[in-house]
Amino acid sequence: MKALYIAYYTALRKVRNYGNLTSMLALPIVMILILGAALDGSFQIENINPVKVILVNENEDELLQSLNEFLKQEDIKEIINTETVEDFDKGMEKIKNGEAFALVHVKTDNEGRIHVYKRSGNIFRSSVVQSVIDSFNQSANAEYAYSMLGGNDVNTSFYDNISEESINPDGKRPKALDYYAMTMLIMTMMYGTTYGAFSMAEEQFYRTEIRLKSASLHFHEIFIGKVAGIILTLVIDASVIILFTKYVYDVNWGDNIPFIMFTCITLAVLATSLGVATSMIIGNENKAHALLSTMVQVLTFLGGGYVPYHSMSSVMKKLSFLSPNYLGLRIMLNAIYDGSQSQIRNYMAILWIASLSLLVISAFRGRRSLA
Amino acid sequence: MILEVKNLIKRYGDTLAVDNISFSIKEGEIFGLLGPNGAGKTTAIDTVIGIRDADKGEINIFGKDMKKHASEIKKYIGIVPQDIAIYPDLTAYENVEFFGRLYDLKGSLLKARVEEVLEFTGLLDQKKQFVRNFSGGMKRRLNIACALVHRPKLIIMDEPTVGIDPQSRNHIIESVKKMRNEGSTIIYTSHYMEEVEQLCSYIAIMDHGKIIARGSKEELKDFVTVEEKTVITLDGINYTLVDRIKTMDNVVDCSVEGNVITVISKKGTNNLNNIIQCIIDSGNQIVSLISEKPDLETVFLTLTGRTLRDEVTTA
Ligand SMILES: Nc1ncnc2c1ncn2[C@@H]1O[C@H](COP(=O)(O)OP(=O)(O)O)[C@@H](O)[C@H]1O
Ligand SMILES: [Mg+2]
C-alpha cells in the first residue's frame, strides 16, 4: 500500500517538473514534426506563426554552418524564421528591441557550444526554439553515431523518403509522420532509463531518503514504489504524446490504441529496470546517466529512429536486433498495419523477460547496498 | 525512561564518529546534544534510530530493544533531519501529506493532522505553494512539520535552525517551547549554545565522538564556576555602602574603582537581589549593572580549551 503512495507522489513530482516536461513531451512532439515534415512534402503545418530567431553567423565554424543549413530547411522555416547577423552585439540589440524572440550563438571556445538567449515570458515559443536546437544536437549526435557504426552517405539516408517501408501485402504503409511518431515515442520511453538511473539517487539528492528509512518501511516497498512511479510517469508521457499526435498531427496509431499503450508500458518497464540496474551496477548515478543518454541515442539510431531500417547497411541491420527500440517499433508496425502476430508475441516476450531479469538483479543488489 | 543508549560505537572506516557513549532520556524531557560541527551528533542520532547500523551498543526505545522491534518503534519517532528533506516539486501540503501516509494516516484524520502541523509551523497560508519557491526559513519549518504529522512520542531535531533568518529562527524556538510545554519528549542537537541553554532541561556536551560533560544547565555551569562576578556603576560613591556589601552573606570580595563597584559572590548563591536591595536602601542610583554568569560556551571552553564557534568556522 505504501509502495503505491511512493509511486503516486513520485509520478506527480516528475510530471510537474519543468525540465522533464520539455525533454519528455515538448522535445519528442517537435521532433516528430521536424523529422516527419522533412520527409513528407504533403504535410502542412497550420496555425503556427514561425518564431523569429537570430543566428550569429560570425565565422566558418563547422558546427555553426551546419546549424545554419539546418535552420534554413523549408520545414524548419515553417516553425522558425531565422535571420543571420554578423556579430553578437548586433543580434542582442534586436532581441532587446523585440525584433526577434531568441538569439542563437555558437561559441568556439568551450564545451556546451550552442547558447540560446530567449526573451522571457512565452513558454510555447521558448520550447519550440529549445526543441529545434535540441533536435539539431540530437541528429548531429546521431549522424556521428551512424558514421562511427560504418554508415556511408549520411545525408541521403537521413532525408531519404521512407515510402519503401512496406509491412503487409496490401501495401498499407506508414507516412513519414506516422513512422517518426512511433520512433520518437519509443525514444521517449527509452529515455526513461535516465529516470530509472536517478530513481533511488534522487531520494539521496533531496535528502528524503532519511525520512523513508526512518519510517517503518521495508526496502522492497521503497523499491517497488520508486520503479512503479517512474513507469507511471512514462505511461502518462506516452498518453500525452499519442493523443497529441493523433489529434493535432493526425498520426495513424491504428485501431487498437490500448495495445499501443501496452507496448509503451512494456518499453517503460524495460527502460526503468535498465536504468535502475545500470545505476546500481556502475554504482554512480551520474556516470550511469551519461552512459545511458548516449546509449539511448545509439539504440534509437539502431532501431531505425532516424534512418529507416531498410536503408541501413547489412551490418547495421543485424545490430538493430540488439535495440529494444527496433523490437518496439516492429511490434507497433505489425500491430497498426496488420502484420505478423507471431513477431508481436515473440518480441513482447523478449522485452518482458529482459525487464524482469533486470528488475530481479537490481532488487537484490539494491537491498544489499541500501541496507 | 523513553530512551536508553549504552556503549554506542559507530565508525566510518578509520573515523571513530561515536566513541562509546551512553545516555538516557526521560519522558517530557528536552535533551540537548551540544557540540561543534563534526562532534558526532548526527551520527549518534542516525544510529540510535536505526538509519545507520551501530558497530556496537545497546539501544532501548519505549522499553523495547531497537534491534528486535525496529519497525514497531519507528512508528512513534519523528525526525527533523539536519539537511532539509523535502520535495521541491510538491506543495507544502503534499509534502506533509506524503510523509503522513508513510505512517498509515489517511482520510479526514490525515487532512486534519496536515492542517494542524502546517498551522503550528506557520505555513498554513502557503500550503498550496510549491516548495521550490520557499525561502530557507520556510523550508526549515516545513522540515519540522513533516516530522510531526504522525504525532510522534519521541521527536528528534537535528540542528533545526541552521542557516536561516532570525525571524524564522525565533518562530522555530517558540514552537519548540510550545512543544515542551505540551509535554513532548525531544532530542535537540545544536552547536548554538544559546538555543540549547534556552530550551533544554538536560544537556550532554559532545566532542570528538565522546560525551564530555552532562547535566542540567545549572549543574554544568557549577562545574566550571567558582565565583560569580557583578560589576555595578553608581551615580556616586558611598563607602558605607561598600562596607555593608563586604559584610553581606556569601560575598567573597568587594572592590571600588571610581564609581564602579565589583562584587565577587560565592558560586550558585544568586546574590544579585540582595546586592541590589542594599544599594537601593543606601539611596544610591544604579547607572549600570553587569552580572557575569558563566554560559555553556564557558563550560565548553573550560573542558576543551576551544570555543564552540571557533570549531564551527574552521570545520
Ligand atoms: N557518511 C560519512 N562517511 C564518513 N565520515 C563521516 C560520514 N558522516 C560523518 N562523518 C564524519 O564523522 C564525524 C562526525 O560527523 P557528524 O555526525 O556529522 O557530526 P555533527 O553532527 O556533530 O556535526 C565527522 O568527523 C565527520 O567527518
Ligand atoms: Mg550534524
User: What are the pLDDT digits (tens) for B100-110?
Assistant: 999 999 999 99
Instruction: Indicate whether B311 pLDDT > 60.
Output: no
Nearest to B124 by CA among B147, B142, B103: B142
pLDDT at A152: 43
Q: To test ligand 1's pocket by mutation, which of B12, B46, B191, B196 has the most ligand atoms within 8 angstroms of CB?
A: B12
Residue nearest atom 9 in ligand 1 by C-alpha distance? B43
Summarize pLDDT for A206-234 with one digit per residue, the tens.
Answer: 999 999 999 988 888 998 999 999 999 99
What's this model's pTM, rounded to 2 decimal places? Answer: 0.74
In contact, A332 and A260? CB cutoff 8 Å: yes
CB contacts of A13 in chain B (<8 Å) are: 87, 89-90
Q: To test ligand 1's pocket by mutation, which of B14, B21, B43 has the most ligand atoms within 8 angstroms of CB?
A: B43
State the pLDDT confidence band at B224, using cuts at 50, 70 and 90.
low
Nearest to B120 by CA among B78, B177, B175: B175
CB pairs under 8 A between A and B: 61
* Ligand 1 contacts CB of residue B36 (under 6 A): no
Summarize pLDDT for B45-75 with one digit per residue, the tens.
Answer: 999 999 999 999 999 999 999 999 999 999 9
> What are the extents of the domains in chain B?
3-222, 226-293
pLDDT at A121: 66
State the pLDDT confidence band at A142, using cuts at 50, 70 and 90.
low
Least confident piece of the model among A69-78, A152-161, B112-121, B288-297: A152-161
- Check: complex ipTM more than 0.90: no
Residue nearest atom 27 in ligand 1 by C-alpha distance? B38
Who's near B14: CB < 8 A, 6+ residues apart? none
CB contact A207 to B (< 8 Å)? yes
pLDDT at B42: 96
CB atoms under 10 Å from CB of A149, counted, come to: 15
Closest residue on chain B to A209 (Cα): B85
pLDDT at B99: 97
Q: Where are the beta strands (DSSP E) in B83-226?
A: 154-158, 185-190, 202-207, 210-215
CB contact B77 to A (< 8 Å)? yes
Helix B92-102, helix B107-120: angle, nearest 10: 130
Least confident piece of the model among B9-18, B39-48, B131-140, B233-242: B233-242
Average pLDDT over chain A, rounded to whole?
81
- Measured in whole angstroms, how far is the alpha carbon of residue A40 from the centre of its chain? 21
Instruction: Indicate whether A150 pLDDT > 70.
Output: no
- Enumerate the β-bridge partners of residue A370: none
Q: Cα–Cα distance between A102 and A125 in angstroms, integer?
A: 9
pLDDT at A47: 47
The architecture in CATH of the region B3-222 reads 3-Layer(aba) Sandwich (3.40)
**Ligand 1 atom index nearest CA of B18:** 14
* Ligand 1 contacts CB of residue B175 (under 6 A): no
Q: Cα–Cα distance between B233 and B271 in angstroms, integer?
A: 17
**Which ligand number lies closest to the CA of residue B38?**
1
Ligand 2 centroid vs B12 CA: distance in angstroms? 15
Which helix (H) or strand (E) segment holds residue B109: the answer is helix B107-120
In contact, A106 and A162? CB cutoff 8 Å: no
Q: Cα–Cα distance between B51 and A217 in angstroms, integer?
A: 12
Q: What b/e string do you get for B153-172 counting C-beta neighbours within 10 Å, with b at 16 or more? A: bbbbbbbbbbebeeebbebb
Q: Do B86 and A212 count as a contact with CB atoms less than 8 A apart?
A: no
In this structure, the strands spanning B185-190 and B154-158 are: parallel
B189 phi and psi angles, rounded to 5 deg: -105, 150
CB atoms under 10 Å from CB of B151, counted, come to: 14
Q: Cα–Cα distance between A360 and B289 in angstroms, integer?
A: 73
> What are the extents of the domains in chain A?
2-42+173-370, 51-166
What letter represents residue B234's amino acid?
L
Distance from the Cα of A139 to chain B's closest Cα (Å) equals: 31
Q: Cell 515542551, residue?
A: B180
> Is B226-293 CATH 3.30.2350.10?
no
Helix B272-281, helix B239-246: angle, nearest 10: 150
Residue of B93, B102, B128 for testing the chain A interface, max A β-carbons within 10 Å: B102
Least confident piece of the model among A35-39, A131-135, A274-278: A35-39
In contact, B203 and B216? CB cutoff 8 Å: yes
CB contact B64 to A (< 8 Å)? no
Summarize pLDDT for B237-270 with one digit per residue, the tens.
Answer: 778 888 888 888 888 888 888 888 888 887 767 7
pLDDT at A140: 63
CB atoms under 10 Å from CB of A303, counted, come to: 25
pLDDT at A112: 56
C-alpha cell at A59: 565565422
pLDDT at A160: 37
CB contact A370 to B (< 8 Å)? no
Q: Cell 539511448, residue?
A: A296
Average pLDDT over chain B, rounded to whole?
88
Distance from the Cα of B202 to chain A's closest Cα (Å) equals: 25
Q: B222: helix, coil or strand?
A: helix
Q: Cα–Cα distance between B188 and B199 in angstroms, integer?
A: 9
Select the residue of A12, A210, A216 nearest B81 (Cβ to Cβ): A210
Distance from the Cα of A227 to chain B's closest Cα (Å) equals: 17
**Please, where are the H alpha helices in chain A?**
2-16, 18-21, 27-38, 62-71, 74-77, 88-96, 123-148, 154-158, 176-190, 192-198, 201-205, 209-214, 219-247, 257-282, 285-302, 314-320, 324-336, 341-370
Closest residue on chain A to B53 (Cα): A371
CB contacts of B46 in chain A (<8 Å) are: 210
Summarize pLDDT for B74-99 with one digit per residue, the tens.
Answer: 999 999 999 999 999 999 999 999 99
Q: Cα–Cα distance between A195 and A257 in angstroms, integer?
A: 25
pLDDT at B189: 95
pLDDT at B104: 93
B226-293 shares the fold of B3-222: no
In contact, A80 and A67? CB cutoff 8 Å: no
Instruction: Indicate whether B225 pLDDT > 70.
Output: no
In contact, A214 and B77? CB cutoff 8 Å: yes
CB contacts of A9 in chain B (<8 Å) are: 87, 90, 94, 98
The 8-class DSSP code of residue A25 comes to I
Q: Which residue has the higher pLDDT, B274 or B27?
A: B27
The architecture in CATH of the region A51-166 reads 3-Layer(aba) Sandwich (3.40)
What letter represents residue B230's amino acid?
T
B155 phi and psi angles, rounded to 5 deg: -110, 135
**Ligand 1 atom index nearest CA of B35:** 22
pLDDT at A164: 34
In contact, B16 and B39? CB cutoff 8 Å: no
Mean pLDDT, residues B145-169 taken together? 92
Mean pLDDT, residues A186-197 taken together? 92
Ligand 2 centroid vs B216 CA: distance in angstroms? 22
Q: Cα–Cα distance between B246 and B249 in angstroms, integer?
A: 8
What letter represents residue A69's amino acid?
E
Distance from the Cα of A15 to chain B's closest Cα (Å) equals: 9
Least confident piece of the model among A265-279, A291-305, B149-163: A291-305
